[in-house]
Amino acid sequence: MSNFQKYSDFYDLLYRDKDYAAEAEYVARTIRSALPAARSILELGSGTGRHGRLLAAMGFDVHGIERSPEMVSLARTAGRPPPLETTGSFTCDVGDICTANLGRTFDAVIALFHVISYQTTNQALQQAFQVAAAHLAPGGLFLFDVWHGPAVLTERPSVRVKEVADERHRIKRTAHPELDSDRGTVKVVYQMECEDRRSGEAVQFSEEHLMRYLFATEVDLIAQGCGLRRVATEEFLTGQPPSPSTWGVAYLLQR
């Protein structure tokens, strides 16, 4: 089963503790600091649209590309957040971030929540970077976050359990990671136990997510091949310099 095919039914509940507002503010601040006039954003891997809608409320015109039809359906039917500044727009379509060609350029391209780390081969990484570069206007920005190689190798992935519930569902997710240092990847097998609290119906399933961790030298090499240059590397959200204990690192590239 492909990533998120069943997972999408419970995605927002699993990540309801994720501070989407703070992340959207970080993205807006980072983009506007480097490119004050930026207005249009292409979001690669837009998921259920929570980042995109928040950025739209901050005045950006955001178009998302998402591989999962289930998530695009959820994104299209979700309500808009209240406007924070000038109102922008959010739209999204089903598509592959490694092959997309929209025939237009944007002021910025973003890929959040480790979307780039899901591109686990050199070819897929190069293709995703090429898509980003092809959709950037001259001087445009590519902002993304990835699993940080030094942290993965220093701290090592471990088994993690997460339990969440709302008025409808109760979910227990157990993540079993397998590190492959030769390929620079971590295979995470999610064991899901989901219960409908109204009917008592329970379902169990598993999904396998393969993630790639990256180093700055790899990012630079791929970026240069696509006509991009790195202008910033920092811990996602905090803006602090990355360390061997920093799992989420943001890169800002410019065309």
Exposure b/e, 129-166, CB count within 10 A at least 16 = b: bbbbbbbbeeebbbbbbbbbbbbbeeeebeeeeeeeee
Average pLDDT value over all residues in the chain:
92
* Rounded alpha-carbon distances, angstroms, from residue 26 to 70, 89, 145: 27, 18, 12
Using an 8 Å Cβ cutoff, are 39 and 15 in contact?
no
In the prediction, which pLDDT does 78 show? 77
User: 86 vs 55, which has greater pLDDT?
Assistant: 55
Range 120-147 average pLDDT: 98
**pLDDT confidence tier of residue 240, bands split at 50, 70 and 90:** very high
In the prediction, which pLDDT does 7 show? 60
Distance, CA of 148 to CA of 32 (rounded, Å)? 25
pLDDT tens by residue, 15-53: 888 899 999 999 999 999 999 999 999 999 999 999 999
Residue appearing with tokens 């006509």: 227
Nearest to 118 by CA among 27, 31, 7, 41: 7
In the prediction, which pLDDT does 17 show? 84
Given a cut of 80, is residue 85 above it in pLDDT? Answer: no
**pLDDT confidence tier of residue 11, bands split at 50, 70 and 90:** confident
Range 116-133 average pLDDT: 97
* Rounded alpha-carbon distances, angstroms, from residue 237 to 22, 28, 145: 8, 11, 10
- Integer-rounded Cα Rg, in Å, for the chain is 18
Nearest to 42 by CA among 97, 119, 122, 118: 97
In the prediction, which pLDDT does 173 show? 94
DSSP for the chain? --TTTTGGGGHHHHTTTS-HHHHHHHHHHHHHHH-TT--EEEEES-TTSHHHHHHHHTT-EEEEEES-HHHHHHHHHSPPPPPSSS--EEEEEE--TTT---SS-EEEEEE-TTTGGG--SHHHHHHHHHHHHHTEEEEEEEEEEEEEHHHHHHH----EEEEEE-SSEEEEEEEEEEEETTTTEEEEEEEEEEEETTT--EEEEEEEEEEEEE-HHHHHHHHHHTT-EEEEEEETTT-PPP-TT--EEEEEEE-
pLDDT tens by residue, 148-178: 999 999 999 999 999 999 988 899 999 999 9
**pLDDT confidence tier of residue 2, bands split at 50, 70 and 90:** very low
Using an 8 Å Cβ cutoff, are 62 and 56 in contact?
yes
Which domains occur in the chain, in start order? 7-148+215-254 (3.40.50.150), 151-211 (2.20.25.110)
pLDDT tens by residue, 207-220: 899 999 999 999 99
**pLDDT confidence tier of residue 79, bands split at 50, 70 and 90:** low
